Amino acid sequence: MRAPPPGGSGPRRCRTSSFYLLMLRAASDPVNAIRASGIFVFFRHPASPARARRSKMILRAFRLCAQGGAPMHQRITGTLACLAAAAIVFAGEPPATHTVAKASFVITSELKGVFAADNTAEIVLRPKEWKALEVLEAVAHGTRVGEGDVLLSLDTEDLDKAIQDLRAEIHAMEIDAAQAEVSVHAAEKTAALDLAGAEKARRHAQEDLERYHGIDRPQGEKTAQFELKYATQSLQYEREELAQLEKMYKADELTEETEEIVLTRQRNSVEHAEFALDRARLQSSRVIDVSLPRQLLGLQEEAARADIAWQRAQASIPASLRKQRLSLEKTRVDLRRARDRLARLETDRGAMQVKSPMNGIVYYGACDFGEWGDALQAAAKLRRGGTIASGQVIMTVVNPRPLRIVAKLAEKDLEHLRPGMQGLARPAAAPGTPCAAILRRIDAIPLAPDAFGAELTASIPKDKDCIVPGMRCTVTINAYEKKETIAVPASAVAADPLDPDTTSVYLLVAEGPVKRAVKAGPRSGEKIEILEGLIEGDRILLSPPEGR
């Protein structure tokens, strides 16, 4: 086949070229022609109800042409006829438009909320000392209670034993503290005496050493020498007397027997004097060479010991007194701590029976943004013999009226919602009974990604007792509403790629589509409000023309 004729440009040339290629493909393969024609129809002409109907009719014709049984030249001829029909039909179809008209424009925000009570009282055990919290009995989940009713009873057997043991320990500590106080008072009185005694012993030892050098040693040496001299003289006297007696007895006429007696006695005296002299020599030598030096060493040692004892007393006696005082203070502190612990245990003992602080309904667990935890899991801890943790919310007493609604907003809703806006809340338990709701507060910071907390007041009908805290609802708020305004399909409004704040539409006039700048307002679904630039009756393209 021949190539397409030259000339032409723009969309018409593109359509002609595409159509010519389809005819070439149809001549060789009708099935491919069917596929190509489907692509041609839907790609070159955006979907619309009218175009969709025409496309289906042409595609059915293509399928009939492609069916087996007919000669090949007839199948090719039918396919070419279908392609020609598609080109004629779609080439002449006008672009889709929208006629501008005023109507109501509403931006609605739908929030998923939970009913929450205004008045609640969390039941939390925070014992000051006792940590073993074992359950004896607890009211059931959902029980309606009054103020002062018992909610929870805990086992106190081990606690009572601990209190009894601690009281006995405190009594023993009081006795120890009294004894320690007496000991400290006695030590304070004897400390000065002990220091004075050490000082006196040191002074006496030093005086004895000085007296030894000044008096005792010279006197000892002198005494030893004098006794030796005296012994020498005594021997000399006895010998002289013996010599005189012997001389005298030779000249007198006394009988020889008497003479012999006197001489014998004198000779014995001489012998005794000789022995006394020897002993005096030994004694003098011992005193001078042994006793006096040893006495000196003893006095020196005694003085040194007395000085050491005095120095030790200077350090040890005050330190011992301080240690006793510290020990007494520690005993007092331990006693005070034991008394404080006893007071805390006794306080904990009084909290082992928990009473309701208000009238309401018992919910197991804590409320987290209107939602309650798993009551079955909490019930497992609150059964008899179960243990609960300190500081954990074990149950909550809830006054079911009045109720409010807590909800989470998406970031896209923040632009339109403001406190004070009114809406309707439809409880999941009674969807046919909408309740008036007023947006009271919106959190300034997110609770989670794309989630901001909000709070609404709710007017619950008095006869709807079935609505209780923890139930869900859907809140609808008309965040933006105008009774008469211009809103067009979002596909018709195009933003400038270089300036997103500049928007425009293509106005259909006799000469063809003309670009017109408009001032766009908020968007609701597939509609955008046009604040400036269009009037009622204007016709605009639903999408910008090709190539623009």
Helices and strands per DSSP (H, E), number in the chain = 9, 19
- In a shared domain, residues 471 and 493: no
Does residue 172 sit within a domain?
A: yes
With contact defined as beta carbons under 8 Å apart, do 134 and 114 qualify?
A: no
pLDDT band at 78 (very low <50, low <70, confident <90, very high): low
Please report whether residue 221 resides in a domain.
Answer: yes
- DSSP letter, residue 492: G
What is the three-class DSSP state of 10? helix
Of 348, 381, 408, which residue sits at a domain end? 348
Q: How far apart are the first and last CA of the chain?
A: 35
pLDDT at residue 335 tops 60: yes
> Do 190 and 328 sit in the same domain of this protein?
yes
The H or E element that residue 235 is part of is helix 217-251
**Lookup: tokens for 507:** 């106005």
Query: Which are the contacts of 251, defined by CB distance < 8 A and separation ≥ 6?
Result: none
Q: What is the CATH number of the domain that holds 374?
A: 2.40.30.170
> Looking at residue 64, what is its pLDDT?
60
* pLDDT of res. 4: 39
CA distances from 17 to 13, 21, 526 (A): 6, 6, 35
Of 462, 482, 502, the position where a domain reaches its end is: 482
> Are 504 and 534 in contact, with CB atoms under 8 Å apart?
no
Q: Are 108 and 72 in contact (CB under 8 A)?
A: no
Residues 503 and 430 in one domain: no
Q: Give me the pLDDT at residue 10, please.
A: 39
The answer to whether 453 and 414 have CB atoms below 8 angstroms apart is no
pLDDT band at 23 (very low <50, low <70, confident <90, very high): very low
Where residue 263 falls among pLDDT bands split at 50, 70, 90? confident
Instruction: Calculate mean pLDDT across residues 313-331.
Output: 92
Structural domain contains residue 519 = yes
Query: Quick one: pLDDT at residue 528?
Result: 93
213 with 304, same domain?
Answer: yes
- pLDDT digits over 193-207, tens only? 999 999 999 999 999
Structure confidence by residue, pLDDT tens digits, 184-233: 999 999 998 999 999 999 999 999 999 989 998 899 889 989 988 998 99
Q: Over 60: is that where the pLDDT of 22 sits?
A: no
| pLDDT over threshold 90, residue 63 | no
User: Is residue 426's pLDDT more than 80?
Assistant: yes
pLDDT-derived band at 25 (thresholds 50, 70, 90) equals very low
The answer to whether residues 111 and 474 touch, using CB atoms and an 8 Å cutoff, is yes
For 112, what's the count of Cα atoms within 13 Å in the CB-facing half-sphere?
4
Answer yes or no: is 353 within a domain.
no
The predicted pLDDT at position 82 comes to 57
Per-residue confidence (pLDDT) for residue 129, from 0 to 100: 93
316 and 228 assigned to the same domain: yes
The answer to the question of residue 326 being in a domain is yes
Residue 548 maps to a domain: no
Q: How confident is the model at residue 11 (pLDDT cuts 50, 70, 90)?
A: very low
Tens digit of pLDDT for each residue in 122-165?
Answer: 999 999 999 999 999 999 999 999 999 999 999 999 999 999 99
pLDDT at 265: 87
> Which pLDDT band holds residue 72 (cuts at 50, 70, 90)?
low
Does 425 share its domain with 324? Answer: no
344-401 pLDDT, tens digit per residue, is 999 999 999 999 999 999 999 999 888 888 888 889 899 999 999 999 999 999 999 9
Separation between Cα atoms, residue 542 and residue 548, nearest integer Å: 13
Question: Are residues 199 and 291 both part of a single domain?
Answer: yes
Say whether both 442 and 383 belong to one domain.
Answer: yes
- 225 and 323 inside one domain: yes
DSSP assignment of 82-138: HHHHHHHHHHTPPPPEEE--EEEEEEEEEEEEEEEEEEEEEEE---SS----BEEEE
Position 17 scores a pLDDT of 39
- Give the 3-state secondary structure of residue 534: coil
Q: What is the DSSP letter of 451?
A: B
Residue 16's pLDDT band, with cuts at 50, 70 and 90, is very low
Burial of 520 (0-12, 13-18, 19+ CB in 10 A): buried
Contact between residue 485 and residue 103 where contact means Cβ atoms under 8 Å apart: yes
pLDDT over 80 (residue 29): no
- Token pair, residue 244, equals 């005189």
Tokens of 378: 């909490």
Query: Which residue, 321, 348, 375, sits at the end of a domain?
Result: 348
Are residues 194 and 144 part of one domain?
no
Are 462 and 523 members of one domain? no
Q: Say if residues 406 and 369 touch (Cβ distance below 8 Å).
A: yes
CATH of the domain at 526: 2.40.420.20
Q: Please report, rounded to a whole number, the percentage of residues in the chain having pLDDT higher than 90.
A: 54
Question: Is the pLDDT score of 284 beyond 60?
Answer: yes
| Number of domains into which the chain is organized | 4
Residue 170 gets the label, from left (phi > 0), alpha (psi -120 to 50) or beta, of: alpha
The pair of structure tokens assigned to 351 is 């909290």
Q: Beta strands of 360-465 (E only): which ranges?
A: 360-364, 367-368, 371-372, 393-409, 422-427, 435-442, 452-459
> What DSSP string describes 307-330?
HHHHHHHHHHHHHHHHHHHHHHHH
461: helix, coil or strand?
coil
Within a domain: residue 232? yes
Q: What is the pLDDT of residue 527?
A: 92
pLDDT of residue 250: 74
Confidence band for 476, pLDDT divided at 50, 70 and 90: very high
SS3 state at 409: strand
Closest CA to 295 of 199, 303, 309: 303
Same domain membership, residue 415 and residue 344: no
Domain-located, residue 3: no
Q: How many residues does the chain have?
A: 548
Q: What residue numbers bound the domain in which 388 lies?
A: 107-154+358-482
* Reported confidence tier of residue 84, pLDDT bands at 50, 70, 90: low
